[in-house]
Amino acid sequence: MRTFIAVELQKDIVEAVDRFLTKTTQEIKNNKISWVKKENLHITIKFLGEIEEEQLETINKVLSEISKSIKSFEVEIKEIGVFPNLNYPRVVWIGVKDEANNLVSLANLVEEKLAKFGFQKEDKEFTAHLTIGRVKKLNNLNEIKTYVEKYKSIEFGKSKIDSITFFQSILKPEGPEYKVIEKFSLNDDM
């Protein structure tokens, strides 16, 4: 089963992002971009890929332990950009500002704990972001550059992060479907 670990945003922020996408995606209509559906918006902490059923219990145990050691926190959802760069855009994202580096700490903890059970560590440093689109075919680079420039300073507000979610990703022709395997509340009783 294909899986990943993520944090979800507050409903009002998801709604605001969805309204923004509904209004603005036509501005880059000459490029083939697969836009993320509202119900699939999240911040990925770690992509695990294909795992065996037997590994579920270990992952759940690790995430449960981690969730008990971290308090909920806020992040700011703002700015638009692309990965890897503006001359070769593959992913369109909305930025996540996390002044206290809580998401980085969470991602590092997940990496460290799961590595003890044989899960491969990421090569690159964690960069908190909200993927909103994947460029499937680039026909007009200037259109994407203009879009990013126009909305680079947009702000969606703050979102409380109060849980870690372990998802299964089911690939379908119409796009991925994400199913919650388990959700772990962060510990506000510390």
190 pLDDT exceeds 70?
Answer: no
Kindly state the percentage of the chain with pLDDT values over 70.
99
Distance between CA atoms of residues 135 and 120, nearest Å: 27
Domain spans in the chain, listed from the N-terminal domain onward: 2-185
CB atoms within 10 A of CB 113: 17
User: What pLDDT does 41 receive?
Assistant: 97
74 pLDDT exceeds 80?
Answer: yes
Report DSSP letters for 56-74, one per residue. HHHHHHHHHHHHHT---EE
Kindly state the percentage of the chain with pLDDT values over 90.
93
pLDDT digits (tens, 9 = 90+) for 25-34: 999 999 999 9
104: nearest Cα among 56, 45, 155: 45
Distance between CA atoms of residues 129 and 28, nearest Å: 20
User: What pLDDT does 174 receive?
Assistant: 86
pLDDT digits (tens, 9 = 90+) for 13-26: 999 999 999 999 99
Catalytic site positions: 42, 129
Question: How would residue 188 be classed by pLDDT, with cut points 50, 70 and 90?
Answer: confident
Question: How would residue 53 be classed by pLDDT, with cut points 50, 70 and 90?
Answer: very high
User: What pLDDT does 138 receive?
Assistant: 93
The two structure tokens encoding residue 94: 């909305």
According to CATH, the topology of domain 2-185 is Cyclic Phosphodiesterase; Chain: A, (3.90.1140)
pLDDT digits (tens, 9 = 90+) for 100-112: 999 999 999 999 9
User: What pLDDT does 97 receive?
Assistant: 96
